[in-house]
Amino acid sequence: MIKAWRVLRELVRGAAITARHFFVNMTFHTLRLFGIRTRRRGAVTIQYPEVQKALSPRHHSLHRIRPRPDGKPSCVACMLCVTVCPSECLYVEAAEDPDPEVQKLPAKFVVDLNRCCFCGFCVEACPVDAIRMDTGEIRLASLTRAGLEVPLDKP
């Protein structure tokens, strides 16, 4: 009998919690509907395509190659990123750079986003800090596989 009352009390408490959430949230929704600004919102939802959350500074998004002051890619085609890449998604073709200080530059630098796991090892491995993953471009979708093979050598 006592147990039954306890069960009943807990049932009512549970319903009271959800009902409280409902009414509190409804109040804030209604206030917002009538144009009254409140500090709290009725829902924690971020309506994604219209409203976008600021990305964290250490996020990983689409790769980019940093340019040199003269506009050429600062990559020296040392192949360290290709070596370290666990998903083998980077394809780099080296070419000769006329500048004897640099010696090499990529003729082709393609990242295959079909395979990339966004681990960021290429960024860590790069000796000249040429590749970075901070473009903020996170909507990476394509209707074809070829569309996900992104050339990066045009900075």
Beta bridge partners of 132: 64
Out of 18, 57, 70, 127, name the contact with another protein by CB under 8 A.
18
Separation CA 89–CA 82 (nearest Å): 8
Q: Does 29 bind another protein (CB under 8 A)?
A: yes
Number of CB atoms found within 10 A of residue 101's CB: 5
Number of CB atoms found within 10 A of residue 26's CB: 11
> Sign of torsion, CA 81 83 85 89?
positive
- Which segment (8-16, 97-105, 112-120, 131-139) binds another protein by CB under 8 A? 8-16
- Closest alpha carbon to 120 in 130, 131, 104, 106: 131
The minimum distance between CB 115 and another protein, in angstroms, equals 32
Per CB under 8 A, contacts with another protein among 37-76 are: 42-45, 47
- Which segment (36-44, 75-83, 101-109, 117-125) binds another protein by CB under 8 A? 36-44
Residues at the site binding another protein, with contacts judged by CB under 8 A = 11, 14-15, 17-19, 21-22, 25-26, 29, 42-45, 47
